[in-house]
Chain A
Amino acid sequence: MSQVRELETTVEELKHLFSPRAATGETMLLNLGPQHPSTHGVLRLLLELDGEEVVSCIPDVGFLHTGIEKNMEAKTFLKALVMTDRMDYLNNMGNNLTYCLAIEKLCAIEVPERAQVLRVICAELQRIASHLVWLGTSAIDLNASSILIYCFRDRERIMDLFELIGGQRMMTSYIRPGGVWRDVPAEFPAAVESFLDYLPGKLDDYERLLDKNPIYLARTIDIGIVDGDEALAWGMTGPALRGSGVNFDVRRAMPYSGYENFEFEVPLETGCDVYARYRVRMREFRESIKIIRQGLRLLKPGPFITSDRKFAPPPRAELGRSMEAVIHHFKYWTDGFPAPDGEVYAATESPRGELGCLLAGDGGPNPRRVHFRTPSFNTLQVLSWLSRGYLVADLVAIIGSIDIVLGDVDR
Protein backbone atom coordinates (compact mmCIF):
# COMPACT_ATOMS: atom_id res chain seq x y z
CA MET A 1 0.00 0.00 0.00
CA SER A 2 2.80 2.37 0.72
CA GLN A 3 3.87 4.29 -2.31
CA VAL A 4 6.68 6.02 -0.58
CA ARG A 5 8.97 3.34 0.66
CA GLU A 6 9.09 0.06 2.48
CA LEU A 7 7.72 0.31 5.96
CA GLU A 8 9.46 -2.39 7.93
CA THR A 9 11.72 -0.86 10.50
CA THR A 10 14.94 -2.76 10.86
CA VAL A 11 17.71 -2.44 13.36
CA GLU A 12 19.89 -1.11 10.57
CA GLU A 13 17.52 1.77 10.10
CA LEU A 14 17.50 2.67 13.75
CA LYS A 15 21.26 2.54 14.07
CA HIS A 16 21.74 6.17 13.20
CA LEU A 17 19.74 7.16 16.27
CA PHE A 18 22.28 5.76 18.66
CA SER A 19 25.97 6.45 19.04
CA PRO A 20 28.35 3.85 17.62
CA ARG A 21 29.33 2.98 21.16
CA ALA A 22 25.99 1.25 21.63
CA ALA A 23 26.92 -1.42 19.10
CA THR A 24 30.07 -2.34 20.96
CA GLY A 25 28.26 -2.69 24.23
CA GLU A 26 30.08 0.21 25.83
CA THR A 27 26.84 2.00 26.49
CA MET A 28 23.60 0.44 27.55
CA LEU A 29 20.26 0.61 25.79
CA LEU A 30 17.34 0.88 28.15
CA ASN A 31 13.65 0.96 27.51
CA LEU A 32 11.60 3.31 29.70
CA GLY A 33 7.87 2.99 29.41
CA PRO A 34 5.23 2.87 28.02
CA GLN A 35 4.11 1.73 31.48
CA HIS A 36 6.17 3.84 33.82
CA PRO A 37 4.86 6.14 36.53
CA SER A 38 7.13 9.03 35.69
CA THR A 39 6.37 9.27 32.00
CA HIS A 40 2.96 10.81 32.73
CA GLY A 41 1.02 8.39 30.63
CA VAL A 42 2.03 6.04 27.91
CA LEU A 43 5.22 7.60 26.65
CA ARG A 44 8.00 5.24 25.69
CA LEU A 45 11.59 6.35 25.73
CA LEU A 46 14.51 4.46 24.30
CA LEU A 47 17.54 5.51 26.25
CA GLU A 48 21.18 5.00 25.57
CA LEU A 49 22.98 5.25 28.88
CA ASP A 50 26.59 5.62 29.79
CA GLY A 51 26.38 4.54 33.38
CA GLU A 52 23.66 6.78 34.73
CA GLU A 53 24.15 9.46 32.10
CA VAL A 54 21.84 9.82 29.12
CA VAL A 55 23.73 9.64 25.82
CA SER A 56 20.70 9.67 23.59
CA CYS A 57 17.00 9.53 24.10
CA ILE A 58 14.46 8.57 21.48
CA PRO A 59 10.83 9.21 22.35
CA ASP A 60 8.36 6.77 20.88
CA VAL A 61 4.84 8.11 20.91
CA GLY A 62 1.55 6.90 19.52
CA PHE A 63 0.51 4.55 22.28
CA LEU A 64 -2.56 6.69 22.78
CA HIS A 65 -3.31 7.47 19.15
CA THR A 66 -7.08 7.49 19.13
CA GLY A 67 -7.80 8.53 15.57
CA ILE A 68 -9.70 11.57 16.75
CA GLU A 69 -8.95 13.63 13.66
CA LYS A 70 -10.20 10.95 11.33
CA ASN A 71 -13.20 10.17 13.46
CA MET A 72 -14.24 13.82 13.42
CA GLU A 73 -14.46 13.74 9.64
CA ALA A 74 -17.19 11.14 9.90
CA LYS A 75 -19.38 13.36 12.07
CA THR A 76 -21.07 16.68 11.59
CA PHE A 77 -19.28 19.77 12.85
CA LEU A 78 -21.46 19.79 15.90
CA LYS A 79 -21.23 16.15 16.85
CA ALA A 80 -17.49 16.13 16.39
CA LEU A 81 -17.26 18.53 19.31
CA VAL A 82 -17.42 15.77 21.91
CA MET A 83 -14.21 14.30 20.55
CA THR A 84 -12.23 17.43 21.28
CA ASP A 85 -12.89 17.16 25.02
CA ARG A 86 -11.14 13.86 25.07
CA MET A 87 -8.02 14.97 23.27
CA ASP A 88 -5.99 16.86 25.82
CA TYR A 89 -7.74 15.59 28.89
CA LEU A 90 -6.45 18.26 31.21
CA ASN A 91 -7.66 21.05 28.98
CA ASN A 92 -11.12 19.94 27.99
CA MET A 93 -12.73 23.36 27.85
CA GLY A 94 -9.75 24.80 26.02
CA ASN A 95 -10.04 22.16 23.33
CA ASN A 96 -13.72 22.93 22.92
CA LEU A 97 -12.86 26.57 22.65
CA THR A 98 -10.19 26.07 20.00
CA TYR A 99 -12.44 23.94 17.86
CA CYS A 100 -15.38 26.31 18.25
CA LEU A 101 -13.21 29.29 17.34
CA ALA A 102 -12.21 27.48 14.17
CA ILE A 103 -15.83 26.71 13.28
CA GLU A 104 -16.84 30.26 14.03
CA LYS A 105 -14.11 31.55 11.79
CA LEU A 106 -15.02 29.15 9.01
CA CYS A 107 -18.73 29.93 9.10
CA ALA A 108 -18.39 33.56 10.23
CA ILE A 109 -20.54 33.16 13.35
CA GLU A 110 -20.87 36.04 15.80
CA VAL A 111 -20.48 35.19 19.47
CA PRO A 112 -22.37 37.28 22.02
CA GLU A 113 -20.49 39.20 24.66
CA ARG A 114 -21.65 37.15 27.63
CA ALA A 115 -20.59 33.90 26.00
CA GLN A 116 -17.14 35.29 25.35
CA VAL A 117 -16.64 36.24 28.98
CA LEU A 118 -17.96 32.87 30.12
CA ARG A 119 -15.52 31.17 27.79
CA VAL A 120 -12.62 33.11 29.22
CA ILE A 121 -13.67 32.22 32.76
CA CYS A 122 -13.94 28.54 31.87
CA ALA A 123 -10.65 28.49 30.01
CA GLU A 124 -8.84 30.06 32.93
CA LEU A 125 -10.45 27.74 35.46
CA GLN A 126 -9.31 24.91 33.27
CA ARG A 127 -5.81 26.33 33.21
CA ILE A 128 -5.75 26.37 37.00
CA ALA A 129 -7.00 22.78 37.11
CA SER A 130 -4.40 21.68 34.61
CA HIS A 131 -1.58 23.43 36.40
CA LEU A 132 -2.72 21.86 39.66
CA VAL A 133 -2.44 18.42 38.15
CA TRP A 134 0.93 19.34 36.69
CA LEU A 135 2.16 20.63 40.04
CA GLY A 136 1.06 17.49 41.83
CA THR A 137 2.41 14.99 39.33
CA SER A 138 5.68 16.73 38.61
CA ALA A 139 6.35 17.18 42.32
CA ILE A 140 5.61 13.56 43.13
CA ASP A 141 8.13 12.55 40.49
CA LEU A 142 10.69 14.43 42.55
CA ASN A 143 9.48 12.71 45.71
CA ALA A 144 7.43 15.56 47.13
CA SER A 145 4.44 13.29 47.46
CA SER A 146 2.13 15.22 49.75
CA ILE A 147 1.67 17.97 47.13
CA LEU A 148 -0.23 15.59 44.89
CA ILE A 149 -2.90 15.00 47.49
CA TYR A 150 -3.27 18.73 48.15
CA CYS A 151 -3.46 19.60 44.47
CA PHE A 152 -6.12 17.03 43.76
CA ARG A 153 -8.12 18.31 46.69
CA ASP A 154 -8.13 21.77 45.09
CA ARG A 155 -8.83 20.37 41.66
CA GLU A 156 -11.98 18.77 43.03
CA ARG A 157 -13.37 22.23 43.65
CA ILE A 158 -12.89 23.17 40.00
CA MET A 159 -14.46 19.90 38.93
CA ASP A 160 -17.43 20.80 41.11
CA LEU A 161 -17.69 24.15 39.35
CA PHE A 162 -17.66 22.45 35.98
CA GLU A 163 -20.26 20.04 37.12
CA LEU A 164 -22.36 22.98 38.17
CA ILE A 165 -22.30 24.52 34.70
CA GLY A 166 -21.92 21.52 32.44
CA GLY A 167 -23.30 18.55 34.34
CA GLN A 168 -20.06 16.60 33.98
CA ARG A 169 -16.77 16.79 35.77
CA MET A 170 -14.36 16.59 32.89
CA MET A 171 -16.00 16.15 29.50
CA THR A 172 -18.47 18.98 29.67
CA SER A 173 -18.66 19.97 25.98
CA TYR A 174 -19.90 23.21 27.47
CA ILE A 175 -18.49 25.54 24.85
CA ARG A 176 -20.47 25.16 21.65
CA PRO A 177 -20.19 26.78 18.23
CA GLY A 178 -21.71 30.23 18.56
CA GLY A 179 -21.55 30.50 22.33
CA VAL A 180 -21.97 28.16 25.25
CA TRP A 181 -24.37 25.31 25.87
CA ARG A 182 -26.59 27.14 28.34
CA ASP A 183 -26.39 29.99 30.76
CA VAL A 184 -24.58 29.48 34.02
CA PRO A 185 -26.76 28.95 37.08
CA ALA A 186 -27.26 31.89 39.40
CA GLU A 187 -24.93 30.42 42.03
CA PHE A 188 -22.00 30.21 39.67
CA PRO A 189 -20.35 33.64 40.23
CA ALA A 190 -20.47 33.27 43.99
CA ALA A 191 -19.08 29.74 43.80
CA VAL A 192 -16.19 30.87 41.61
CA GLU A 193 -15.59 33.82 43.90
CA SER A 194 -15.31 31.58 46.93
CA PHE A 195 -12.89 29.30 45.12
CA LEU A 196 -10.76 32.29 44.14
CA ASP A 197 -10.65 33.41 47.74
CA TYR A 198 -9.60 29.95 48.81
CA LEU A 199 -6.85 29.23 46.29
CA PRO A 200 -4.14 31.91 46.82
CA GLY A 201 -3.45 30.89 50.41
CA LYS A 202 -3.05 27.29 49.33
CA LEU A 203 -0.70 28.30 46.53
CA ASP A 204 1.47 30.10 49.05
CA ASP A 205 1.60 26.90 51.06
CA TYR A 206 2.70 24.84 48.07
CA GLU A 207 5.33 27.36 47.16
CA ARG A 208 6.66 27.28 50.69
CA LEU A 209 6.73 23.50 50.58
CA LEU A 210 8.76 23.42 47.38
CA ASP A 211 10.79 26.61 47.36
CA LYS A 212 12.29 25.87 50.75
CA ASN A 213 12.89 22.24 50.03
CA PRO A 214 16.60 21.78 49.32
CA ILE A 215 16.03 18.47 47.56
CA TYR A 216 13.52 19.99 45.20
CA LEU A 217 15.81 22.91 44.47
CA ALA A 218 18.81 20.70 43.87
CA ARG A 219 16.88 18.59 41.44
CA THR A 220 15.41 21.47 39.45
CA ILE A 221 17.90 24.32 39.31
CA ASP A 222 20.26 24.17 36.31
CA ILE A 223 18.62 21.03 35.01
CA GLY A 224 17.27 20.80 31.48
CA ILE A 225 18.60 24.06 30.13
CA VAL A 226 17.15 25.22 26.83
CA ASP A 227 17.77 28.76 25.65
CA GLY A 228 15.19 30.93 23.96
CA ASP A 229 16.31 30.62 20.34
CA GLU A 230 16.60 26.87 20.57
CA ALA A 231 13.21 26.64 22.17
CA LEU A 232 11.65 28.65 19.35
CA ALA A 233 13.38 26.68 16.64
CA TRP A 234 12.11 23.44 18.14
CA GLY A 235 8.57 24.68 18.33
CA MET A 236 8.19 24.97 22.07
CA THR A 237 5.34 27.14 23.25
CA GLY A 238 3.59 27.97 26.47
CA PRO A 239 5.13 28.03 29.94
CA ALA A 240 8.08 25.94 28.77
CA LEU A 241 9.00 28.66 26.28
CA ARG A 242 8.34 31.49 28.70
CA GLY A 243 10.65 29.85 31.19
CA SER A 244 13.36 30.54 28.63
CA GLY A 245 12.55 34.21 28.58
CA VAL A 246 10.64 34.41 25.29
CA ASN A 247 7.58 36.56 25.53
CA PHE A 248 5.04 34.66 23.48
CA ASP A 249 1.53 34.03 24.64
CA VAL A 250 -1.28 33.55 22.16
CA ARG A 251 -3.65 35.38 24.50
CA ARG A 252 -1.48 38.47 24.08
CA ALA A 253 -0.11 38.06 20.58
CA MET A 254 -3.36 37.10 18.83
CA PRO A 255 -6.15 37.74 21.31
CA TYR A 256 -9.27 35.63 20.95
CA SER A 257 -12.55 35.52 22.77
CA GLY A 258 -12.06 39.02 24.13
CA TYR A 259 -8.75 38.51 25.91
CA GLU A 260 -7.77 41.98 24.74
CA ASN A 261 -10.20 43.41 27.31
CA PHE A 262 -8.45 41.74 30.20
CA GLU A 263 -5.49 43.01 32.07
CA PHE A 264 -2.94 40.40 32.89
CA GLU A 265 0.76 39.87 32.88
CA VAL A 266 2.61 37.25 30.89
CA PRO A 267 5.02 35.73 33.44
CA LEU A 268 8.55 35.42 32.17
CA GLU A 269 11.56 33.76 33.74
CA THR A 270 15.07 33.72 32.40
CA GLY A 271 16.46 30.71 34.19
CA CYS A 272 15.81 28.41 31.19
CA ASP A 273 15.81 25.40 33.53
CA VAL A 274 13.26 23.16 35.20
CA TYR A 275 12.94 25.54 38.09
CA ALA A 276 12.19 28.50 35.81
CA ARG A 277 9.38 26.58 34.17
CA TYR A 278 8.00 25.79 37.59
CA ARG A 279 8.14 29.47 38.55
CA VAL A 280 6.32 30.49 35.38
CA ARG A 281 3.45 28.15 36.10
CA MET A 282 3.21 29.21 39.71
CA ARG A 283 2.90 32.81 38.59
CA GLU A 284 0.38 31.86 35.91
CA PHE A 285 -1.92 30.56 38.62
CA ARG A 286 -2.13 34.06 40.03
CA GLU A 287 -2.62 35.68 36.65
CA SER A 288 -5.47 33.30 35.93
CA ILE A 289 -7.08 34.22 39.22
CA LYS A 290 -6.79 37.87 38.22
CA ILE A 291 -8.37 37.20 34.83
CA ILE A 292 -11.27 35.27 36.31
CA ARG A 293 -11.99 38.05 38.80
CA GLN A 294 -12.13 40.56 35.95
CA GLY A 295 -14.31 38.17 34.01
CA LEU A 296 -16.83 37.96 36.83
CA ARG A 297 -17.00 41.74 36.84
CA LEU A 298 -17.47 41.89 33.06
CA LEU A 299 -20.25 39.30 33.13
CA LYS A 300 -23.35 41.21 32.04
CA PRO A 301 -26.77 39.68 31.46
CA GLY A 302 -27.50 38.91 27.84
CA PRO A 303 -27.74 36.09 25.32
CA PHE A 304 -25.27 33.26 25.81
CA ILE A 305 -25.39 31.79 22.31
CA THR A 306 -25.84 33.25 18.88
CA SER A 307 -29.43 33.84 17.83
CA ASP A 308 -28.74 32.60 14.29
CA ARG A 309 -30.98 29.55 14.17
CA LYS A 310 -28.73 27.88 11.64
CA PHE A 311 -25.91 27.55 14.14
CA ALA A 312 -27.67 27.34 17.47
CA PRO A 313 -30.72 25.39 18.60
CA PRO A 314 -33.85 27.37 19.47
CA PRO A 315 -34.62 27.72 23.18
CA ARG A 316 -36.74 24.98 24.64
CA ALA A 317 -39.65 27.32 25.31
CA GLU A 318 -39.99 28.18 21.62
CA LEU A 319 -40.37 24.58 20.58
CA GLY A 320 -43.90 24.33 21.95
CA ARG A 321 -45.10 27.44 20.17
CA SER A 322 -43.42 27.79 16.84
CA MET A 323 -43.39 25.29 14.00
CA GLU A 324 -40.40 27.04 12.52
CA ALA A 325 -38.45 26.49 15.70
CA VAL A 326 -39.23 22.78 15.54
CA ILE A 327 -37.95 22.61 11.99
CA HIS A 328 -34.78 24.45 12.91
CA HIS A 329 -34.30 22.20 15.88
CA PHE A 330 -34.73 19.09 13.78
CA LYS A 331 -32.45 20.28 11.00
CA TYR A 332 -29.83 21.41 13.47
CA TRP A 333 -29.57 18.10 15.26
CA THR A 334 -29.93 15.79 12.29
CA ASP A 335 -28.26 17.56 9.36
CA GLY A 336 -26.04 20.01 11.16
CA PHE A 337 -25.04 23.08 9.23
CA PRO A 338 -23.03 23.34 6.03
CA ALA A 339 -19.69 25.10 6.11
CA PRO A 340 -17.98 26.76 3.16
CA ASP A 341 -15.17 25.14 1.23
CA GLY A 342 -11.98 26.57 2.67
CA GLU A 343 -9.39 26.26 5.37
CA VAL A 344 -9.02 28.24 8.56
CA TYR A 345 -6.60 28.08 11.43
CA ALA A 346 -7.54 29.19 14.93
CA ALA A 347 -5.26 29.08 17.93
CA THR A 348 -5.61 29.43 21.67
CA GLU A 349 -3.22 29.33 24.56
CA SER A 350 -3.71 26.02 26.28
CA PRO A 351 -2.00 25.37 29.64
CA ARG A 352 0.75 23.74 27.64
CA GLY A 353 1.18 26.25 24.84
CA GLU A 354 -0.32 27.05 21.51
CA LEU A 355 -3.18 24.77 20.64
CA GLY A 356 -4.25 25.30 17.06
CA CYS A 357 -6.94 23.83 14.89
CA LEU A 358 -6.63 23.65 11.14
CA LEU A 359 -10.15 23.11 9.93
CA ALA A 360 -11.07 22.47 6.32
CA GLY A 361 -14.68 22.48 5.19
CA ASP A 362 -15.93 21.02 1.95
CA GLY A 363 -19.26 22.76 1.56
CA GLY A 364 -21.15 20.04 3.40
CA PRO A 365 -22.05 19.48 7.04
CA ASN A 366 -18.97 17.36 7.76
CA PRO A 367 -15.45 18.69 8.03
CA ARG A 368 -13.10 17.67 5.26
CA ARG A 369 -10.19 17.61 7.62
CA VAL A 370 -9.54 18.58 11.20
CA HIS A 371 -5.95 18.83 12.22
CA PHE A 372 -4.80 19.90 15.63
CA ARG A 373 -1.49 21.57 16.25
CA THR A 374 -0.94 20.39 19.74
CA PRO A 375 1.58 21.93 22.09
CA SER A 376 2.71 18.69 23.69
CA PHE A 377 3.49 17.06 20.36
CA ASN A 378 5.80 19.88 19.36
CA THR A 379 7.33 20.31 22.77
CA LEU A 380 8.09 16.65 23.23
CA GLN A 381 10.53 16.77 20.31
CA VAL A 382 13.04 18.65 22.39
CA LEU A 383 13.34 15.77 24.82
CA SER A 384 15.59 13.92 22.39
CA TRP A 385 18.41 16.41 22.80
CA LEU A 386 17.41 18.20 25.96
CA SER A 387 18.06 15.18 28.15
CA ARG A 388 21.52 14.53 26.74
CA GLY A 389 24.23 14.61 29.36
CA TYR A 390 21.87 14.57 32.31
CA LEU A 391 21.20 11.71 34.65
CA VAL A 392 18.17 9.48 34.39
CA ALA A 393 16.77 11.07 37.53
CA ASP A 394 17.04 14.46 35.87
CA LEU A 395 15.27 13.15 32.82
CA VAL A 396 12.26 12.54 35.02
CA ALA A 397 12.38 16.13 36.22
CA ILE A 398 12.65 17.36 32.64
CA ILE A 399 9.66 15.34 31.46
CA GLY A 400 7.69 16.77 34.33
CA SER A 401 8.74 20.31 33.56
CA ILE A 402 7.72 20.36 29.91
CA ASP A 403 4.29 19.19 31.02
CA ILE A 404 3.18 16.85 28.30
CA VAL A 405 -0.17 15.14 28.14
CA LEU A 406 -0.06 12.04 26.05
CA GLY A 407 -3.60 12.50 24.84
CA ASP A 408 -2.44 15.79 23.43
CA VAL A 409 0.62 14.28 21.79
CA ASP A 410 -1.07 11.35 20.11
CA ARG A 411 -4.63 12.51 19.61
Chain B
Amino acid sequence: MSHLERTISALQERFPHGVLGKAEFRGDITLQIDSASLVAVCRYLRDEPALGYNVLVDIGAVDYSPQEPRFALFYIVYALVQNTRLRLKVLLPGAEPVAPSISGIWPSANWPEREAFDMMGIGFEGHPDLRRILMPADWEGHPHRKDYPLGYEEVQFTFNKREIDARKKYATS
Protein backbone atom coordinates (compact mmCIF):
# COMPACT_ATOMS: atom_id res chain seq x y z
CA MET B 1 0.00 0.00 0.00
CA SER B 2 1.48 3.30 -0.98
CA HIS B 3 1.73 6.22 1.37
CA LEU B 4 -0.96 8.06 -0.54
CA GLU B 5 -3.46 5.22 -0.11
CA ARG B 6 -2.59 4.99 3.57
CA THR B 7 -3.17 8.71 3.95
CA ILE B 8 -6.53 8.58 2.25
CA SER B 9 -7.84 5.70 4.27
CA ALA B 10 -6.57 7.30 7.48
CA LEU B 11 -8.33 10.52 6.60
CA GLN B 12 -11.54 8.79 5.66
CA GLU B 13 -11.51 6.87 8.88
CA ARG B 14 -10.72 9.83 11.05
CA PHE B 15 -12.98 12.38 9.34
CA PRO B 16 -15.98 10.47 8.01
CA HIS B 17 -17.93 13.70 7.60
CA GLY B 18 -15.01 15.90 6.66
CA VAL B 19 -13.94 13.97 3.58
CA LEU B 20 -16.75 14.41 1.11
CA GLY B 21 -15.39 12.54 -1.84
CA LYS B 22 -12.46 11.22 -3.76
CA ALA B 23 -11.84 11.75 -7.45
CA GLU B 24 -9.10 10.53 -9.70
CA PHE B 25 -8.08 12.34 -12.86
CA ARG B 26 -4.96 11.62 -14.91
CA GLY B 27 -3.42 9.67 -12.07
CA ASP B 28 -3.81 12.40 -9.46
CA ILE B 29 -6.13 11.90 -6.54
CA THR B 30 -8.14 14.82 -5.24
CA LEU B 31 -9.95 14.64 -1.93
CA GLN B 32 -12.90 16.90 -1.47
CA ILE B 33 -12.96 18.31 2.02
CA ASP B 34 -15.73 20.07 3.86
CA SER B 35 -14.57 23.61 4.54
CA ALA B 36 -15.63 23.32 8.20
CA SER B 37 -13.16 20.52 8.85
CA LEU B 38 -10.35 21.82 6.64
CA VAL B 39 -8.23 23.09 9.51
CA ALA B 40 -8.60 19.85 11.46
CA VAL B 41 -7.71 17.78 8.40
CA CYS B 42 -4.65 19.89 7.68
CA ARG B 43 -3.48 19.79 11.25
CA TYR B 44 -3.87 16.04 11.26
CA LEU B 45 -1.95 15.73 8.00
CA ARG B 46 0.91 17.75 9.37
CA ASP B 47 1.09 16.52 12.93
CA GLU B 48 0.42 12.81 12.61
CA PRO B 49 3.93 11.32 12.53
CA ALA B 50 2.90 8.49 10.23
CA LEU B 51 1.65 10.97 7.61
CA GLY B 52 4.19 13.77 7.83
CA TYR B 53 2.82 16.26 5.31
CA ASN B 54 5.18 19.05 6.23
CA VAL B 55 4.99 21.23 3.12
CA LEU B 56 2.14 23.19 1.65
CA VAL B 57 3.02 23.54 -1.99
CA ASP B 58 0.28 25.75 -3.32
CA ILE B 59 -3.20 27.10 -2.98
CA GLY B 60 -5.02 27.64 -6.24
CA ALA B 61 -8.48 29.13 -6.62
CA VAL B 62 -10.72 28.28 -9.56
CA ASP B 63 -13.92 30.03 -10.58
CA TYR B 64 -16.49 27.58 -11.97
CA SER B 65 -19.21 30.10 -12.71
CA PRO B 66 -22.00 29.71 -13.66
CA GLN B 67 -21.90 26.43 -11.77
CA GLU B 68 -22.76 26.37 -8.12
CA PRO B 69 -20.88 25.99 -5.81
CA ARG B 70 -18.92 28.50 -7.74
CA PHE B 71 -15.42 28.53 -6.28
CA ALA B 72 -12.97 25.79 -5.53
CA LEU B 73 -9.74 26.02 -3.62
CA PHE B 74 -7.06 23.47 -4.38
CA TYR B 75 -4.52 22.78 -1.67
CA ILE B 76 -1.50 20.77 -2.66
CA VAL B 77 0.33 19.29 0.28
CA TYR B 78 3.52 17.33 0.20
CA ALA B 79 5.22 14.85 2.51
CA LEU B 80 8.92 15.33 2.00
CA VAL B 81 10.20 12.12 3.54
CA GLN B 82 7.66 9.87 1.85
CA ASN B 83 7.78 11.92 -1.36
CA THR B 84 4.00 11.95 -1.68
CA ARG B 85 1.66 14.62 -2.89
CA LEU B 86 -1.99 14.98 -2.04
CA ARG B 87 -4.51 17.41 -3.40
CA LEU B 88 -7.38 18.72 -1.33
CA LYS B 89 -10.32 20.52 -2.80
CA VAL B 90 -12.73 22.76 -0.96
CA LEU B 91 -15.86 24.01 -2.67
CA LEU B 92 -17.22 27.41 -1.77
CA PRO B 93 -20.50 29.12 -2.64
CA GLY B 94 -20.65 32.05 -5.03
CA ALA B 95 -22.17 34.39 -2.49
CA GLU B 96 -19.84 35.15 0.43
CA PRO B 97 -17.11 32.64 -0.27
CA VAL B 98 -15.18 32.25 2.94
CA ALA B 99 -12.77 29.49 3.85
CA PRO B 100 -10.88 28.95 7.08
CA SER B 101 -7.30 30.11 6.94
CA ILE B 102 -4.62 27.48 7.30
CA SER B 103 -1.78 29.94 7.73
CA GLY B 104 -1.61 28.88 11.36
CA ILE B 105 -0.62 25.40 10.25
CA TRP B 106 1.66 26.13 7.34
CA PRO B 107 2.88 29.73 7.48
CA SER B 108 3.55 29.58 3.76
CA ALA B 109 -0.22 29.75 3.22
CA ASN B 110 -0.09 33.42 4.13
CA TRP B 111 0.59 34.94 0.74
CA PRO B 112 -1.26 32.42 -1.43
CA GLU B 113 -4.36 33.09 0.67
CA ARG B 114 -3.91 36.80 0.25
CA GLU B 115 -3.59 36.24 -3.46
CA ALA B 116 -6.82 34.25 -3.56
CA PHE B 117 -8.50 37.03 -1.62
CA ASP B 118 -7.17 39.69 -3.93
CA MET B 119 -7.79 37.92 -7.20
CA MET B 120 -10.89 35.84 -6.51
CA GLY B 121 -12.45 37.62 -3.58
CA ILE B 122 -12.37 34.61 -1.32
CA GLY B 123 -12.23 35.47 2.36
CA PHE B 124 -10.09 33.59 4.82
CA GLU B 125 -11.23 33.43 8.40
CA GLY B 126 -8.44 33.77 10.90
CA HIS B 127 -5.87 35.10 8.47
CA PRO B 128 -3.45 37.40 10.30
CA ASP B 129 -3.13 40.02 7.59
CA LEU B 130 -5.73 39.75 4.87
CA ARG B 131 -5.01 42.64 2.51
CA ARG B 132 -4.71 42.98 -1.20
CA ILE B 133 -1.37 41.77 -2.37
CA LEU B 134 -0.99 42.19 -6.12
CA MET B 135 -3.47 44.88 -7.03
CA PRO B 136 -3.31 48.42 -5.61
CA ALA B 137 -5.08 48.75 -2.26
CA ASP B 138 -7.88 50.87 -3.71
CA TRP B 139 -8.66 48.57 -6.64
CA GLU B 140 -12.27 47.63 -7.16
CA GLY B 141 -13.30 44.09 -7.88
CA HIS B 142 -11.42 40.84 -8.07
CA PRO B 143 -9.79 40.46 -11.47
CA HIS B 144 -9.61 36.69 -11.76
CA ARG B 145 -13.32 36.19 -11.39
CA LYS B 146 -15.05 35.16 -14.57
CA ASP B 147 -17.43 38.11 -14.46
CA TYR B 148 -14.60 40.63 -14.27
CA PRO B 149 -13.87 42.07 -17.71
CA LEU B 150 -10.45 41.38 -19.14
CA GLY B 151 -10.11 44.93 -20.40
CA TYR B 152 -8.42 45.84 -23.63
CA GLU B 153 -6.95 48.66 -25.60
CA GLU B 154 -9.07 50.38 -28.19
CA VAL B 155 -7.62 50.45 -31.66
CA GLN B 156 -7.21 53.88 -33.09
CA PHE B 157 -9.18 54.48 -36.29
CA THR B 158 -10.02 57.70 -38.07
CA PHE B 159 -13.38 58.01 -36.35
CA ASN B 160 -11.99 57.81 -32.81
CA LYS B 161 -8.59 59.34 -33.43
CA ARG B 162 -9.29 62.52 -31.49
CA GLU B 163 -10.77 60.71 -28.56
CA ILE B 164 -7.76 58.47 -28.10
CA ASP B 165 -5.32 61.27 -28.69
CA ALA B 166 -7.00 63.14 -25.90
CA ARG B 167 -6.47 60.22 -23.58
CA LYS B 168 -2.87 59.66 -24.60
CA LYS B 169 -1.97 63.25 -24.31
CA TYR B 170 1.75 62.64 -24.52
CA ALA B 171 1.67 60.43 -27.59
CA THR B 172 1.56 63.21 -30.14
CA SER B 173 4.14 65.90 -29.82
Contact = CB atoms under 8 A, between A and B. Distances in A.
Whether chain A touches chain B in the assembled complex (some CB pair under 8 Å): yes
Interface of A: 1-5, 7-9, 13, 16-17, 61-62, 65, 67, 69-71, 74, 105-106, 108, 229, 232-235, 246, 248, 253-254, 342-345, 347, 354, 356, 358, 360, 368-369, 371, 373, 377-378, 380-381, 410
A2 B131 CA distance: 12
A229 B95 CA distance: 38
Contacts of A377: 111-112, 115
27 contacts: A2-B121, A4-B98, A4-B123, A5-B130, A7-B138, A8-B137, A9-B131, A17-B129, A70-B144, A108-B26, A229-B54, A232-B54, A234-B107, A246-B80, A248-B80, A254-B85, A343-B25, A344-B25, A344-B28, A345-B28, A345-B58, A345-B76, A368-B63, A369-B63, A373-B57, A377-B115, A380-B111
Given A70-B150, A356-B57, A378-B111, A9 B137 contact: yes
Most buried by A among B95, B98, B144: B144
B62 A106 contact: no
Given A13-B131, A233-B107, A369-B144, 9 more contacts: A2-B140, A8-B137, A16-B129, A65-B135, A70-B150, A343-B74, A358-B74, A371-B61, A380-B111
A74 B152 CA distance: 11
A377 B59 CA distance: 12
Interface in B32-56: 54-56
A232 B111 contact: no
Contact of B150 (A74, A248, A378, A410): A74
Given A71-B150, A248-B80, A371-B61, A235 B55 contact: yes
B133 interface: yes
Interface string B124-142: 0000011111111111111
A3 B107 contact: no
Nearest to A64: B134
Contact of B60 (A16, A71, A371): A371
A358 B63 CA distance: 13
Contacts of B87: 345
Interface size class of B (residues with CB under 8 A): 35 or more
B65 to A, nearest CB: 10
Contacts of B129: 16-17
Contacts of B150: 67, 70-71, 74
A137 B126 CA distance: 39
A373 B57 CA distance: 8
B108 A233 contact: yes
A3 B57 contact: no
Contacts of B132: 7, 9, 62
Contacts of B85: 254
Interface in B138-156: 138-144, 148, 150
Contact of B26 (A16, A105, A232, A380): A105
Contact of B137 (A7, A71, A253): A7
A61 B56 CA distance: 21
Contacts of B148: 70
A13 B61 CA distance: 26
A371 B121 contact: no
B83 interface: yes
A230 to B, nearest CB: 9
A71 B26 CA distance: 26
B108 A235 contact: yes
A381 B110 contact: yes
A99 to B, nearest CB: 14
A118 B100 CA distance: 44
Contacts of B123: 4-5
Nearest to B149: A70
A354 B139 CA distance: 30
A69 B108 contact: no
A74 B76 CA distance: 26
Contacts of B135: 62, 65
Nearest to A74: B150
B58 A356 contact: yes
A248 B85 CA distance: 13
Given A4-B123, A7-B132, A106-B26, A253 B83 contact: yes
